[in-house]
A = this chain, B = another copy of it.
């Protein structure tokens, strides 16, 4: 099959990083992306060119297009860290060539050629050949969230306390972690912003679901912290909510920031707790974890694929938006709760 020379894509407007703080919501597309036509890229020796079937949208993509992710933007290149598709060309490397014609889940972090386009480039090592029983919606969300879930739940298990805390409890990522926790007999304490999310998350396996907007939130939080004594706090939000939670946590609590959904100032309310209660604040970044724990990537990827195949994990879909409608529809679709939004080239 001959490849076209040009393709459509959502191209980055900005370059490098920005210093302007901004919340995680995508308020509009135009400041960050423009629809455009661009030459179909050629894969390097260790890379694969993928005809994209479905690309996912993660919170890290939004941070990236805004210039607030840990990797600089390249102006004019397509955005999009993750997707699913068929390998239509490869470099000369033997492993890359072995992927030819296969359906793969892929991540583009290293290649810098994003998935929100007709074709994407990924390192062969970041492509996962999919078994037939994995849906495209799961294959397109097979890497970023699943590996983050497995890696962060490892931190919880290593700490040993059964109870742990998560903000943004209704996110796809948190739902994956809640599933892992339920199986292992752990007790997730999660926060949400809507009462209707409470029964759903309890059903999945959350021990406590607290609505951060409830009038008695702080009182309930203190009670739950006292009863459950969680040590690990996996935080996607920061700002006042996270400050309040960390402040209420017991001795030796570890506040692990992995997202910044709230752009409000993040205050350590009682620095004395760092001194006298041995609490600490740190961060988690999947890219860093992958560099540190290369040998655990293979097993983690296999584990993720099994879980999606047998239905223990499943990706909730809010919308599948055609590439041509993305500029008009994405902000509104992303504002809806409870599921993931995909782009279909």
Contact = CB atoms under 8 A, between A and B. Distances in A.
A28 B202 CA distance: 53
Interface string A276-302: 111111111100100000000000000
A276 B283 contact: yes
Interface stretch (A126-134, A173-181, A187-195, A266-274): A266-274
A290 B200 CA distance: 47
A230 B340 CA distance: 41
B278 A280 contact: no
Contacts of A283: 271, 273-280
A258 interface: yes
A134 to B, nearest CB: 29
Contacts of A337: none
Interface in A39-80: 63, 68-70
A288 B251 CA distance: 12
Nearest to A263: B271
Contacts of A275: 70, 257-260, 283-285
Contacts of A271: 238, 257, 260, 266, 283
A330 to B, nearest CB: 23
A273 B260 CA distance: 11
Contact of A68 (B260, B272, B274): B272
Interface string A144-169: 00000000000000000000000000
Contact of A266 (B63, B260, B267, B288): B267
A278 B281 CA distance: 11
A70 B272 CA distance: 8
A279 B266 CA distance: 15
A276 B281 contact: no
A265 interface: yes
B258 A281 contact: no
A278 B259 CA distance: 13
Given A265-B267, A267-B266, A281 B274 contact: yes
A276 B64 CA distance: 12
Nearest to A287: B276
> What 5 A-B pairs come out closest when comparing CB atoms?
A70-B276, A274-B283, A275-B283, A281-B281, A280-B282
15 contacts: A70-B275, A70-B276, A238-B268, A238-B271, A257-B275, A260-B272, A265-B265, A266-B271, A271-B283, A274-B281, A274-B283, A278-B288, A280-B281, A280-B282, A280-B283
Interface of A: 63, 68-70, 238, 257-260, 265-269, 271-285, 288
